[in-house]
Each structure stands twice: as C-alpha cells, then as structure tokens.
C-alpha cells in the first residue's frame, strides 16, 4: 500500500537529510505506529506519502501510484485515497459537525444524496450521532477529534494517516480515539499513525517503525514505544 525505496529527502542544499535512505513497506490493512522524537523525520515521512513533498532520491509508491512520476494535477486523486487526521483537529469553526464532515465530500464533487446518506452513517460510526448540529467549540477535544476522523474517513479511503491524533487529548480520551482507529483498521483500512504517546504504543502492540535523525532504526511487529524497553 505504501512503499519507500531508499528514500532520501534533503530540504536545503547541503543540510542534514530529513530522511536518510529509508526503505519500508506497509501492506494493505496494516496498523503501523511511526515513532521518533521531534525532528526525527516523521513529518517528512507523512508529507512524502501525501506528496506535499517530493523525495530527493529514491522512490515512493502509494496506493499503486509511483509518486515520483505523479503529475501535479493527479495529486488530488491520490489524496482522495488518503484520509488525514491531525493533532490540532483542523475543523472549520463556523461549520457544524455535520457540515464539517459533509464539506470533505462537497469539495470532491459528491452528489447531495450521497452526502445525505453517508455523513450520518459516519457520525454514527465515530459515536457522534445526535451531535450533528453542534459547532466545534461546543465539543470536547475527544469529540472534535472524532469529527476530524469522520471527515478523514467519510470517503472510505484505503489509507488513513494520523499525525499525533492524541497529542492534545488526555489519556482516557485517547483510549477512545485509539479504539475508533482500531475499528477503522478492521474494515481493511491501512492506518499509519505518527505518535509520541508511548502508553498507547505499548498497549496496542502493533507494528512500530522508528525514525531517528532521519534514519530508520527499527521496524518491529507487535512492538513497544522505546527501543530500551524491548
């Protein structure tokens, strides 16, 4: 589903590479944690998948596409196959829960009747049925993140990227979000989650990819957060 072949990314000429010769493959339906301290290259890794950045060297394949050769007008098609969730939720403050989720479908040109049937289903799935008309600021952090997940997943993309989705949430709420992501993963969706949250990684016992200074230092099935704990 996602494959990096000897990928190196250098932002400024002569600078230390943000990613250094990384090769990794993530299969369809995998649940993978991407861990590493700040500046380890996690964000660059995600940006390369979304093709917000292009690799300096090496090849990136996502959802059957060779991103090095993907022309920029096809990028939107790629992004429709990738749902993205962020630490800061990125909801539209003046739109209701329903409108926030529907927005993602509107702007890719889905028909109104499709939107009308899919959005309630999705809100049901993330556990927000009955809160359609709330505005984001009327919701708790956990609920806001659920809206963001609903928006990312409403088009049923085969890949879900999560960048520190529990970073702003307390541990109890985070567990709920992780259950939700796990449920989405069980529908066959590939989930790649960048995180600092060692407790969650340790609890979930999923595959862990660790980056350090841009290098891949660990790729472990059913792993835990830090190397030293193995």
Binding site for other proteins (CB under 8 A): 50, 72-73, 75-84, 90, 92-93, 103-104, 106-112, 151-152, 155
Please, which residue, 106 or 187, has the CB nearer to other proteins? 106
Least distance to other proteins, CB of residue 55, Å: 17
Least distance to other proteins, CB of residue 155, Å: 7
Tokens matching residue 26:
């993530």
Count Cβ atoms below 10 Å from residue 37 Cβ, excluding itself.
Answer: 11
User: Rounded to 5 degrees, what are φ and ψ at 40?
Assistant: -80, -15
Least distance to other proteins, CB of residue 79, Å: 3
Please, which residue, 114 or 217, has the CB nearer to other proteins? 114
d(CA 77, CA 16): 32
Please, which residue, 146 or 207, has the CB nearer to other proteins? 146
As a three-state string, the secondary structure of 52-76 is: CCCCCEEEEEECCEEHHHCCHHHHH
Least distance to other proteins, CB of residue 119, Å: 13
| Distances, alpha carbon 17 to alpha carbons 55, 130, 186, in Å | 11, 48, 35
Please, which residue, 4 or 153, has the CB nearer to other proteins? 153
């Amino acid at each position: 589903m996602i494959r990096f072949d000897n990928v190196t990314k250098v932002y400024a000429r002569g600078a230390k590479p943000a990613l250094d010769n990384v090769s990794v493959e993530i299969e369809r339906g995998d649940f993978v944690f991407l861990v590493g301290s700040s500046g380890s290259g996690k964000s660059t890794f995600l940006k390369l998948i979304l093709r917000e950045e292009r690799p300096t060297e090496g090849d990136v394949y996502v959802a059957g596409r060779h991103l090095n050769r993907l022309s920029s007008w096809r990028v939107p098609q790629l992004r429709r196959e990738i749902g993205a969730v962020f630490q800061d939720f990125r909801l539209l403050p003046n739109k209701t829960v329903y409108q926030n989720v529907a927005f993602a479908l509107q702007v890719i040109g889905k028909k109104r009747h499709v939107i009308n049937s899919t959005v309630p289903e999705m809100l049901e799935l993330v556990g927000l049925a009955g809160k359609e008309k709330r505005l984001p600021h009327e919701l708790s952090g956990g609920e806001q993140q659920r809206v963001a997940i609903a928006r990312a997943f409403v088009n049923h993309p085969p890949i879900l990227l999560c960048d520190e989705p529990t970073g702003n949430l307390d541990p109890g709420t985070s567990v709920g979000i992780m259950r939700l992501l796990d449920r989405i993963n069980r529908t066959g969706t590939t989930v790649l989650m960048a995180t600092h949250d060692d407790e969650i990684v340790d609890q979930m016992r999923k595959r862990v990819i660790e980056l350090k200074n841009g290098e891949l230092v660990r790729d472990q099935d059913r792993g835990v957060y830090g190397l030293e704990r193995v």
